[in-house]
A and B are shown apart, each in its own frame.
Chain A
Amino acid sequence: MMRSARPALFAAAALAALAGTAAAQTKVGMITTLSGGGASLGVDTRDGFMLAIEQAGRDDIEVVIEDDERAPDRAVQIADRMIQSDRVDVLTGIVWSNLAMAVVPSGTAQGKFYLSTNAAPAQLAGRGCHPNYFAVSYQNDNLHEAAGAWANQAGYADTFIMAPNYPAGQDALTGFKRFYEGDLAGEVYTDLGQTDYAAQIAEIRASGADSVFFFLPGGMGISFLKQYADAGVDLPLIGPAFSFDQGILQAIGAAALGIRNTSQWSKDLDNEANRAFVAAFEAEYDRLPSLYAAQGFDTANLLLSALDKADIGDPEAFRAALREADFDSVRGDFTFAPNQHPVQDIYVREVIEEDGVFTNRIVGTAMEDRANAYVDDCTMTQ
């Protein structure tokens, strides 16, 4: 039973046709979210990844792409199929931490490589780290830590913090508090998927805070920012990049202007690789790339760099080649910490309007060469 990528996924299909399945020596399985409310993140991940694969022009790589519908059991089923039936060498593409937790431990235990384009939960960075697991994006806490560090630099001393009540939300507030030195004017958990924040905005107004940190990814962030702007509260906001991503900024509109957010990448990051990436992405897909697209692009380039150096049939050598991270990251300097998560700078961006399009520009650096808090918990035998 052979299945190649979906016909709709032109890049993968074209590549498979070009390569002919017989010639493919390396098989990559991409599991990502391509339907439902979270589809924009998966679409960008896929497009960024496939752009790099296409640019490489290699005919010995086949990418199988499948939609996980953001459901953990779907993701597990697809991973099983890719491992058992498609016999892929590398898995990648998962957007959400809970799906990663469902797929990664058993995938790496079966000897497959997993390169994370986004989700990087603490469990997989600490005690659950694995020689075959590489997070190319960040460690989940990083952007929140950077927000805490930035709050100190900006002189905030009484911040109101807020996140949805689920593990990533709890990690977000913990991450913020790890480096933040001021007081907390309030600490609030909202419902996952909540759409109305009137009650929390009233609390923020009444709390006497001097600033607000929030982690509300996707649609939750859109709702909150529109309502916050409309409520006329003028406290400065700070948050991780997820609520200010290229894919959703247009939906927030002017309500996001001027807000500071932390990210390890930005469209205007000044390096050769990034300029080329942004131009190529725009030319190919006719829109600006998002953080997810950048992470997908870097992940594919890391994979390509390792394939140039080692044979994937020799896991030991291939692992070493991955660990060298010898590729031109769109983020500039990029190395791996001992637990195989990035060591990288994390920037502060500001939302601006440029030629009628809302986007971000870098205004400062929140943390330099940040690794992550779980390096010491990881006891990989190497």
Chain B
Amino acid sequence: MITERVLTLGALAALGLVALAAHVADEPFTVTLATRAAIFALAAVGLNLALGLGGLVSLGHAVFFGLGGYAMGILAWHAQMYQPMRIGPLEIAGTQSMPAIWLVAVAVSGLAALLIGLLALRTAGVYFIMITLAFGQMFYFFAVSWPAYGGEDGLSIYVRNGFPGLNTLDPIQFFGLCFALLAAATGLVAGLRRAPFGLALNAARQAPERVRAAGIEPQRLRLAAFVVSGAITGLAGALFADLNRFVSPAMFSWQLSGEIMVFVILGGAGRLSGPVLGAAAFVAMEHWLGGIWEYWHILLGLLLLGVVLFARGGIAGLVTGRSHV
């Protein structure tokens, strides 16, 4: 039987090999597709922590994805325009350095997750799904109509941001960066699952009373998971913005929240390997189905439906023959 660890490492290795092979064969677009898959997988790693392990079905994770994107867009825009940002008496220079942008993206989306989590975690079940959706819509409408940073037009960044020692404009080098972050985040989540925090979180999902009896407040565990989850998805948003050299309110849309959820479930909710498998499968399907038929969304819908109805546990479940971890 294939263990989760082997499956996860295998999926990551396959993604890396596809990108490398494409690079050697001089197929830069396939490298770009693999980068897109890695970034989506990173976003899904974030959601998977809240959803798979914490049982928090968030239909608003695009908020964090979008905030990460705008952290990149706004900082890089100010650097590109040589206009420092003014917040009251403060003057903050923009930056085009990826590590600085990542730090801001993680901090901002983590903070947003804390605030949203404090309010949203007062509810549970379907109400939680809906309140996260509502927060997503609030951010979306705000971003569309707020004129300072382009509104619906979004912000274009002409040159991809830099990372010390690398040429980020080279597709394979940028892929390497995204891939390393994906691997690191997957490792972090794997560690969290085994740590007391992860065990308690898992227990809080299955039997909250017992956790409470052990003297731990389940809500605080969930809030912590939600914050880490939001921060990881925010990091993915910053990378996505750099991949496209562009941010727009579409990154906040509820369809995007739905898609991140699709990656998680398609791959296998709660599975360590789920995000990578789901995101890679989705990007591949999107790419190939688009070439088959003008109405290819129908095929995508049928495929997704098939996975939910007949392949419980997603791709990871199919591969390992188990629908649960």
Residues of chain A touching chain B, judged by Cβ–Cβ distance below 8 Å, are 1, 3, 6-9, 34-35, 66-67, 71-73, 76-77, 80-81, 84-85, 97-98, 101-102, 105-106, 109, 121, 123, 165-168, 170, 189, 191-192
Q: How far is the CA of A231 from the CA of B253 in the complex (A)?
A: 33
Task: Check A106 against B156 for contact (C-beta < 8 Å).
Answer: yes
Closest to B283 in A: A77
Main secondary structure of the interface of B (DSSP, over half): helix
Closest to A78 in B: B290
Top 6 nearest A-B pairs by Cβ distance? A85-B29, A8-B294, A166-B152, A84-B28, A76-B244, A84-B29
Closest to B240 in A: A73
Q: How far is the CA of A77 from the CA of B245 in the complex (A)?
A: 11
Question: Could you show 7 A-B contacts with beta carbons less than 8 Å apart?
Answer: A3-B291, A35-B295, A72-B246, A76-B246, A84-B171, A170-B151, A192-B145
* Partner among A66, A84, A98 whose Cβ is within 8 Å of the Cβ of B248: A98
Q: How far is the CA of A71 from the CA of B244 in the complex (A)?
A: 12
Q: How far is the CA of A76 from the CA of B251 in the complex (A)?
A: 13
Q: How far is the CA of A84 from the CA of B240 in the complex (A)?
A: 18
Please give, as numbers and ranges, the residues of chain A lying within 8 Å of B30 by CB-CB distance. 1, 85
Task: Check A67 against B152 for contact (C-beta < 8 Å).
Answer: no
Q: What's the nearest-Cβ distance from chain A to residue B238, in Å?
A: 14
Please give, as numbers and ranges, the residues of chain A lying within 8 Å of B245 by CB-CB distance. 76, 106
B127 at the interface (CB under 8 A from A): no
Q: What's the nearest-Cβ distance from chain B to residue A232, in Å?
A: 31
Task: Check A165 against B29 for contact (C-beta < 8 Å).
Answer: no
* Partner among A34, A80, A167, A189 whose Cβ is within 8 Å of the Cβ of B152: A167
Say yes or no: A121-B153 contact (C-beta < 8 A), given A72-B244, A72-B250, A76-B246: yes
Q: How far is the CA of A98 from the CA of B144 in the complex (A)?
A: 11
Task: Check A102 against B294 for contact (C-beta < 8 Å).
Answer: no
* Partner among A9, A72, A106 whose Cβ is within 8 Å of the Cβ of B154: A72
Please give, as numbers and ranges, the residues of chain B lying within 8 Å of A168 by CB-CB distance. 152-153
Closest to B159 in A: A109
B150 at the interface (CB under 8 A from A): yes
Task: Check B290 against A101 for contact (C-beta < 8 Å).
Answer: no
Please give, as numbers and ranges, the residues of chain B lying within 8 Å of A189 by CB-CB distance. 145
What total of chain B residues lie within 8 Å of the partner, measured CB to CB?
33
Task: Check B29 against A81 for contact (C-beta < 8 Å).
Answer: yes
Q: What string of 1s and 0s marks CB contacts (under 8 Å) between B23-47 and chain A? A: 0000111101100100000000000
B210 at the interface (CB under 8 A from A): no
Please give, as numbers and ranges, the residues of chain B lying within 8 Å of A34 by CB-CB distance. 294
Q: How far is the CA of A1 from the CA of B144 in the complex (A)?
A: 37
Q: How far is the CA of A1 from the CA of B28 in the complex (A)?
A: 10
Please give, as numbers and ranges, the residues of chain B lying within 8 Å of A102 by CB-CB distance. 154, 156, 244, 246, 248
Say yes or no: A98-B244 contact (C-beta < 8 A), given A77-B32, A80-B29, A85-B27: no
* Partner among A77, A105, A106 whose Cβ is within 8 Å of the Cβ of B36: A77
Q: How far is the CA of A309 from the CA of B245 in the complex (A)?
A: 34
Query: Max chain B CB contacts within 10 Å: which of A9, A71, A85?
Result: A85
Q: What string of 1s and 0s marks CB contacts (under 8 Å) between B136-153 and chain A? A: 000001001101001111
Please give, as numbers and ranges, the residues of chain A lying within 8 Å of B290 by CB-CB distance. 6, 66-67
Q: What's the nearest-Cβ distance from chain A to residue B136, in Å?
A: 15
B220 at the interface (CB under 8 A from A): no
Task: Check B29 against A101 for contact (C-beta < 8 Å).
Answer: no
Q: How far is the CA of A102 from the CA of B150 in the complex (A)?
A: 11
Please give, as numbers and ranges, the residues of chain B lying within 8 Å of A121 by CB-CB distance. 153
Please give, as numbers and ranges, the residues of chain A lying within 8 Å of B240 by CB-CB distance. 73
Task: Check A167 against B153 for contact (C-beta < 8 Å).
Answer: yes
Task: Check A166 against B29 for contact (C-beta < 8 Å).
Answer: no
Q: How far is the CA of A81 from the CA of B144 in the complex (A)?
A: 28
Q: What string of 1s and 0s marks CB contacts (under 8 Å) between B249-272 and chain A? A: 011000000000000000000000
Please give, as numbers and ranges, the residues of chain B lying within 8 Å of A85 by CB-CB distance. 27-30
Q: What's the nearest-Cβ distance from chain B to residue A218, in Å?
A: 14
Q: How far is the CA of A167 from the CA of B291 in the complex (A)?
A: 33
Q: How far is the CA of A67 from the CA of B27 in the complex (A)?
A: 21
If A77-B33, A101-B156 are given as contacts, then 13 extra A-B residue pairs at C-beta distance below 8 Å, sorted by A number, are A1-B27, A7-B292, A8-B294, A35-B297, A72-B244, A72-B250, A73-B246, A77-B36, A85-B27, A101-B153, A101-B154, A109-B158, A170-B151
Closest to B171 in A: A84
Task: Check B293 against A6 for contact (C-beta < 8 Å).
Answer: yes
Task: Check A170 against B248 for contact (C-beta < 8 Å).
Answer: no
Q: What's the nearest-Cβ distance from chain A to residue B96, in Å?
A: 15
* Partner among B145, B150, B156 whose Cβ is within 8 Å of the Cβ of A165: B145
Please give, as numbers and ranges, the residues of chain B lying within 8 Å of A192 by CB-CB distance. 144-145, 152
Task: Check A80 against B294 for contact (C-beta < 8 Å).
Answer: no
Q: How far is the CA of A71 from the CA of B151 in the complex (A)?
A: 15
Task: Check A72 against B248 for contact (C-beta < 8 Å).
Answer: yes
* Partner among A3, A67, A71, A97 whose Cβ is within 8 Å of the Cβ of B153: A97
Q: How far is the CA of A170 from the CA of B152 in the complex (A)?
A: 11
Closest to A124 in B: B156
Closest to B297 in A: A35
Task: Check B147 against A170 for contact (C-beta < 8 Å).
Answer: yes
Q: How far is the CA of A84 from the CA of B244 in the complex (A)?
A: 14
Please give, as numbers and ranges, the residues of chain A lying within 8 Å of B29 by CB-CB distance. 1, 80-81, 84-85
Closest to B255 in A: A71
Task: Check B32 against A101 for contact (C-beta < 8 Å).
Answer: no
Q: How far is the CA of A35 from the CA of B301 in the complex (A)?
A: 14
Task: Check B158 against A35 for contact (C-beta < 8 Å).
Answer: no
Please give, as numbers and ranges, the residues of chain A lying within 8 Å of B246 by CB-CB distance. 72-73, 76, 101-102, 106
Q: How far is the CA of A9 from the CA of B296 in the complex (A)?
A: 13
Query: Max chain A CB contacts within 10 Å: which of B144, B153, B171, B240?
Result: B153
Please give, as numbers and ranges, the residues of chain A lying within 8 Å of B297 by CB-CB distance. 35
Task: Check B244 against A6 for contact (C-beta < 8 Å).
Answer: no
Closest to A170 in B: B147
